[in-house]
Amino acid sequence: MAYEAGGGSYAELSAGLSLGQRTLERWVAQHRATGDVAPKPKAGGWRSPIEVEVLHGVIAERPDATIEELRRRYNQCVPRRARVSWSALGRALARLGYVLKKNGRDRPKWIAQTSTRSERRS
């Protein structure tokens, strides 16, 4: 690395490389500790508590149900600790590619998966 080769101070090198000085300091510390400055693997994060197979089954039972009706049915099918809110269920539906179809008056609503780009092209 340029810093360890005596290429200047942290401030000089970070200005020349258009980096924050603290970023350069972390990179040098990581290089000294591991011998590499490759990014660390992603760690942690939050996983959705929604069980996808159960959700698919609930939707198959009533494809014309509202999100609130789906939430109630989903929560009946899972243990108490795995119950979810309607907003969590809505995010899961969107993540899985489902859309709530809103039709005109007196026509049923239904839920279906959206097509993928490759399916639309064919």
Q: Which residue has the higher pLDDT, 4 or 18?
A: 18
Shared-domain flag, residues 56 and 31: no
pTM over 0.75: no
What are the residue ranges of helices labelled H in 18-116?
Answer: 21-34, 52-61, 67-77, 86-95
Whether the predicted pLDDT of 101 surpasses 70? no
E strand or H helix at 75, and its extent? helix 67-77
User: How many C-beta atoms surround the C-beta of residue 88 within 10 A?
Assistant: 15
Q: Among 51-60, 70-79, 113-122, whose mean pLDDT is lowest?
A: 113-122
In a domain, 76, yes or no: yes
3-state secondary structure of 7: coil
Identify which of 85, 99, 96, 97 has the alpha carbon closest to the alpha carbon of residue 52. 96
In a domain, 47, yes or no: no
Shared-domain flag, residues 72 and 105: yes
Distance of CA 118 to the CA centre of its chain: 22
At residue 35, the pLDDT reads 86
Rounded Cα–Cα distance for residues 27 and 46 (Å)? 27
Shared-domain flag, residues 28 and 56: no
In a domain, 46, yes or no: no
Identify which of 48, 49, 26 has the alpha carbon closest to the alpha carbon of residue 37. 26
